[in-house]
Amino acid sequence: MHVIFQPAEERGFDSGAQRMVAEGLFDRFPCDAVFAMHNHPGRPCGQLMSRRDQFMAAGDRVFITVRGVGGYVARPHLTQDPVVGAASIIIALQTVVARNVPPDQTAVITIGMLQGGKALNIIPAEVQLGLSMRSFDPAIRALLRQRITDIVQLQSASLGLSAEIHYVEGYLVVCNSEAETTLVLQVAAELVGEDNVDGEMDLLTGSEDFAYMLQARPGCLIRIGNGEAPQANKMLHNSGYDFNDNNLVLGAAYWSRLVERCRSPRARCRC
């Protein structure tokens, strides 16, 4: 058994797990299977959740710079305003999922960064946008890239602006393997009872670089409930997030039981 410390998971690309696998993690520390646990606000503390096959989304990043001609706000006709261009791009991007992605497919486009200008009386020369995309299907992933690229370039050109796009393919889809997920759910049921285990959790549009380890070895990621209100109102990536200390006991018990079961001759996977 090996305990893997996974650095730089939140980077979104060129992450810790990706680098570790590429640099021979499983050659130096052989593993037949890998397992991970992730906190999940909004579900009661004491519940464990997972699913077979696809579980968490692929995640990509786009960094966009919209360039124009800055100047005095009182004479906007002498400028080419990238703020207006960025606003136009943001609105147009909202149509991609709504009008280009089939309704039975899952996709997310979120603009998480908008930076431009420092003074109220100056139109800046450039504005920067940062986007995050999530998807499960390779064709949808390619569609998002094409539509985002087209919209950014065409919206910018229509306003006499230019745009530079830096598209970064990020994490893979998290795919839990069959035998390892079955074992994980059995262990979870032994600890908290079947009523507190959800083995068919909905697809999650969050991304996780544990996907790179699952690409190299079979395994399973499980979620542990962090609690409902007030924790449910303080979701992940929120400044008010509060880890539920009661999870320490359950989490430790889960890992201990999983190791015991993996070492048992009755286990379906070789850990």
Please give the full DSSP string across 75-132, using - where no structure is assigned. Answer: -GGGSB-HHHHHHHHHHHHHHHHHHTS-TTS-EEEEEEEEE--S-TTEE-SEEEEEEE
The verdict on residue 132 lying in a domain is: yes
Q: What is the CATH number of the domain that holds 13?
A: 3.40.630.10
120 assigned to some structural domain: yes
Residue finishing a domain among 120, 139, 168: 168
Spell out, as residue ranges, where the chain has pLDDT lower than 70. 12, 229-233, 264-271
Question: Which of 168, 200, 228 is the C-terminal boundary of a domain?
Answer: 168
Which residue, of 138, 168, 198, is where some domain finishes?
168
Residue with tokens 């305990």: 3
Residues 150 and 96 in one domain: yes
Rounded distance between C-alpha atoms, residue 76 and residue 17, angstroms: 48
Output the pLDDT for position 269: 54
Give the tokens for residue 13: 């690309």
Whether 191 and 256 map to the same domain: the answer is yes
HSE-up of residue 269 (Cα within 13 Å, Cβ side): 27
- CATH code of the domain covering residue 111: 3.30.70.360
In a domain, 270, yes or no: no
Q: Can you give the pLDDT at residue 5?
A: 87
pLDDT at 233: 59
d(CA 173, CA 259): 26
Identify the pLDDT of residue 232.
55
Let me know whether 72 and 202 are in one domain.
Answer: no
For the chain, the domain total comes to 2
- Domain containing 118 equals 58-168
Q: What is the pLDDT of residue 50?
A: 97
Q: For the chain, count helices (H), then strands (E).
A: 7, 12
Residue 250 and residue 199 share a domain: yes
| Continuous segment of H or E residues that includes residue 44 | none
